[in-house]
Amino acid sequence: MKLTVKDTNGTQQGEFEVKFELVENGRGTQAVHDTVVAYQAAQRMGTACTKTAGEVSGSNKKPWRQKGTGRARAGSHQSPLWVGGGVVFGPKPRDFRKKVNAKTRQLALRKALSERLKAGDVQVIAELKLSSPKTKGFTAILSKLDLKGTTLVVDSAIDNNVRLASRNVEGVEVATADNLNTYQVLRPNKLVLTKSAFEKLEARLKD
């Protein structure tokens, strides 16, 4: 597969050949699912916490005598039946992370990128640099590249001006080729990669 390289004005600068093998047919679908589920699970804080009957404050004194009051039997103020009592089977702090091996993660990334390439959702630009950290300059580039909706911008290393200029733009995420993951590839409407970032990503996918 060949990709067109553009400059930040949207002018064609040439073409280059994709060097990694695209994943065809249904292969890699399960790897993508497992990787995305693991990524989203890892984003969970896991800090929800409730107290059991043994942890809530209160004494062990029986609220009233067992018989003769006309009321139901009660043995503790900490009972889950009482307001302020403990919680039965409530959440406790836990780690939601799931293990996915390196080969599965790599296959998932190749599959996700292959599908986005085949769908025509990937644009490659020669380089991405801004002379000043102004949002106006960054949005002008997006407009010239005809990018609408959510967009992922990937570079080999994030220029500080680009980082500052893009952080106020809704629906735009900036990432590096070294840390790019499957969820980031699948989430946005369009992907924009610099040529150097694409080459770094190819090196990752060929290992």
pLDDT tens-digit readout, 63-80: 999 999 999 999 999 999
Which pLDDT does position 77 carry in this prediction?
Answer: 94
If you average pLDDT over residues 113-120, what whole number do you get? 94
186: phi then psi, degrees, rounded to nearest 5? -80, -30
Which pLDDT does position 19 carry in this prediction?
Answer: 87
Measured distance CA(11)–CA(53) in Å, rounded: 68
The share of the chain scoring above pLDDT 70, in percent, equals 100
If you average pLDDT over residues 20-44, what whole number do you get? 94
- Indicate whether 207 pLDDT > 70: no
Query: Which fold would CATH assign to domain 2-41+98-206?
Result: Ribosomal Protein L4; Chain: A; (3.40.1370)
CA angle 35, 149, 196 (to 5 degrees): 65
pTM as predicted: 0.84
Which pLDDT does position 24 carry in this prediction?
Answer: 87
Please name which of 148, 150, 156, 149 lies closest in space to residue 124, comparing C-alpha atoms.
156
- Indicate whether 1 pLDDT > 90: no
Q: Residue 111 burial (CB < 10 Å; 0-12/13-18/19+)?
A: buried
Which pLDDT does position 26 carry in this prediction?
Answer: 85
Q: What is the pLDDT of residues 123-176, one digit of tens each?
A: 999 999 999 999 999 999 999 999 988 999 999 998 899 999 999 899 999 999
Query: What is the residue extent of each domain of the chain?
Result: 2-41+98-206, 45-95
Q: What is the pLDDT of residues 34-53, one digit of tens each?
A: 999 999 999 999 999 999 99
Give the pair of three-digit tokens for residue 194: 């610099």
